[in-house]
Chain A
């Protein structure tokens, strides 16, 4: 009996401090996260997510990790055994539906096999997929209104939950206590020795940021192109809101005119009309001038278009970009150009991208071309995973 004989120490005593189940389930979770990261490209343009209006409660099923083994596919003999019914060969019965809600489905009838789905919320996905993203070249300003919360398992307390037990510290406390009694060894661990790590919320103060999200909604923006732009902005908004509190997001949709819209409408806009990209830049420029002086605001301006802009308007855009650069931390321009959908009349030189690429050579002007929805993930990383140390290399206008 575990209690009666000291030589035969109970096995459970040995594990109690190890928390093996917790450790290995953490490991499992981490591997799932890695798998999600690996499949991020596919997940990030998942239709159901983008059309969810950013509903945080939406759950995306993620399969538990599989243990691969040789397994039967189609079985010839599918007979099973039942009991307690008076039946005859050839009888057929319809089964009453009695699926318990939330009960995981076991795969097939394989005994002991675990195969069911875990669920991940959008916030969790943002944390997993977009954890290293941030607004580039942010500068601390005097009127600090933006908080970034980070949590650390750092403080050591005498009370806590078992999974957070700090074994090293606990053993050390035990050793200390035993040493005080004259024998410096580990043993007889009791309540007093236990030390737990607890979460500490650290608030970092960041400076004000205003982000302008602008999107072309002209007739040439096909459903596919719009979808790409919306996917990009959807995740951008998710991660910005998750990372930065009190951030100011300004949504601008434009065709031949620009409109400030609210977030919901922004993601609902449909396409029609001509294109004058400059109108959006103009609106952003005026808004910044009126509301967000660069002395106290980190301004960011993003535009997504297919680049099918009126010829002379390209120069007008260039003009505004030049005016905006001194007012902004960064300007981003994404051009969506699915190869299949090249308009015959639109030559390379007439694209907005051509004009901007060749005339704005600034580190803080970030330009990217997207040809398919699979590239959205990389585009996000390109915009928001910029090495901040590059800021000193900023060149002059050409």
Chain B
């Protein structure tokens, strides 16, 4: 980081303090494109190696070479936080990005979803990566890779409410209960006949289990300790990333709002630079040339701008005890994308932004076309948030284990059917770590219930 930027960051931090922003200390690092691509491919750069990060690195590189993506920054949710700035960006771009980063780190520190995340993850991931290196030394890359492949295939199936740290199910002791008086009570008057003591059904799992990795780690009899560790590492990372997945619009919107605030107050930049800043800022929060897509920076920023207007107005009229900016800090604390859109995307704003929901069509001539579903607010909200549930993974849970056979049920067939090719592959994975047969119940496109099995003979329908 050059001296100029360093000086500016100091001023930015002063302004952030005056605004009442509350964030972890930030380590800024200005890095070349290559390093930036690595950081973005790994998401958490200290985590263990896996071929899939190499794949996404290739992908990023390709995108970069074709000029499709311009990554301005990456910031890690950690205390202290780490922020990466591109060395090829202009000083003014990096000044803005430094301010933007403060918005993100405030978000990490204050949003309720992040209370459950590990804010020392950068270091923990490094330790875990070290353990995985040791496993690779000991058991070979293939075996470790296999365990990781399996872990990644199930890592989106978490149970956020139960959380990453859980203890095993409580063992039910032998449970006996009295049955009610039965219909022969009158005939058989002796007491012992009318009351039966039966063994209560010991349900296992006690209720449908949605945290698939957790269940398999704890109740599989075939996994070795190191394999359990690998799966647990992946599971922990999934819980770490989940809040980020669920707060893309609100987090980017807030960070954009913050950088705009700070840059307006920043005195150390001259007029020419300020003009440059306005241009870059425009680019970040523009709707985008593609009308069939929505830029989360733009949407989030627009909603926050609207919130501020409204609450400042209310404050002026004594209808609210807090100002627009204070309201924004409250929203940041308590909402995620789903509730943010539901609660704060207003009719007015939707009209201003000319939002619409649509479906893709294929014309008879084979051309691509779209069909406008509508501009009604509820439809719009649903179209935005529906992909945000459950990491966008189909809901699959474990309902029972009988004679060692694992019963899985796909619970979200109302949203869509399962892709059979992937079902087969994942069932093979689960069979490998469960070690015994498994069934999966789902619904086909005609609406009838279907069962898939994977056992020692392989997959069958």
Which residue numbers of A lie inside 8 Å of B, CB to CB?
1-4, 8, 10-12, 15-16, 20-29, 31, 64-95, 97, 100, 102-104, 110-111, 114, 116, 118, 162
Closest to B387 in A: A111
Is B124 engaged at the interface, CB distance under 8 Å to the other chain? Answer: no
Closest to B367 in A: A94
Q: Which 3 A-B pairs have the closest CB atoms?
A: A24-B54, A25-B54, A68-B425
Pick out which of these stretches binds chain A: B26-34, B107-115, B321-329.
B26-34
What are 20 A-B pairs at a CB distance below 8 A? A3-B6, A20-B45, A21-B38, A21-B42, A21-B54, A22-B57, A25-B54, A25-B55, A25-B57, A69-B153, A81-B356, A81-B357, A82-B370, A83-B291, A89-B373, A92-B370, A92-B371, A93-B370, A103-B66, A114-B59
Distance of A126 from chain B, by nearest CB (Å):
22
Residue in A20, A70, A104 whose beta carbon sits within 8 Å of that of B393 in the complex: A70
Q: How far is the CA of A381 from the CA of B31 in the complex (A)?
A: 49
Residues from chain A with a CB closer than 8 A to the CB of B184 are: none
Residues from chain B with a CB closer than 8 A to the CB of A2 are: 1, 27-29
Using an 8 Å CB-CB cutoff, how does the interface string of B406-423 with A read, 1 for contact, 0 for none? 000010001111111011
Closest to A25 in B: B54
Distance of A71 from chain B, by nearest CB (Å):
5
Pick out which of these stretches binds chain A: B191-199, B251-259, B260-268, B374-382.
B374-382
Does B374 lie within 8 Å of A89, measured CB to CB? yes
Distance of B398 from chain A, by nearest CB (Å):
13
Does A72 lie within 8 Å of B55, measured CB to CB? no
Given contacts A11-B45, A80-B383, whether A24 and B368 have CB atoms under 8 Å apart is no
Does A83 lie within 8 Å of B287, measured CB to CB? yes
Does A85 lie within 8 Å of B356, measured CB to CB? yes
Given contacts A20-B49, A94-B369, whether A89 and B153 have CB atoms under 8 Å apart is no
Distance of B114 from chain A, by nearest CB (Å):
20
Is B317 engaged at the interface, CB distance under 8 Å to the other chain? Answer: no
Is B169 engaged at the interface, CB distance under 8 Å to the other chain? Answer: no
Does B291 lie within 8 Å of A84, measured CB to CB? yes
Residues from chain B with a CB closer than 8 A to the CB of A21 are: 34, 37-38, 41-42, 53-54, 57
Q: Which of B131-149 contact A (CB under 8 A)?
A: 141, 149
Given contacts A21-B54, A67-B153, A94-B369, whether A79 and B387 have CB atoms under 8 Å apart is no
Closest to A3 in B: B1
Residues from chain B with a CB closer than 8 A to the CB of A90 are: 371-372
Closest to A103 in B: B66
Distance of A110 from chain B, by nearest CB (Å):
7
Does B58 lie within 8 Å of A28, measured CB to CB? yes
Closest to A104 in B: B62
Does A76 lie within 8 Å of B52, measured CB to CB? no
Closest to A88 in B: B372
Pick out which of these stretches binds chain A: B159-167, B216-224, B358-366, B453-461.
B358-366
Identify the interface centre among A70, A78, A95: most chain B CB within 10 Å of its CB: A70
Does B417 lie within 8 Å of A72, measured CB to CB? yes
Does B354 lie within 8 Å of A85, measured CB to CB? yes
Residues from chain B with a CB closer than 8 A to the CB of A81 are: 294, 355-358, 380, 383-384
Does A78 lie within 8 Å of B59, measured CB to CB? no
Does A89 lie within 8 Å of B50, measured CB to CB? no
Residues from chain B with a CB closer than 8 A to the CB of A100 are: 66
Using an 8 Å CB-CB cutoff, how does the interface string of B57-85 with A read, 1 for contact, 0 for none? 11100100010100000000000101010
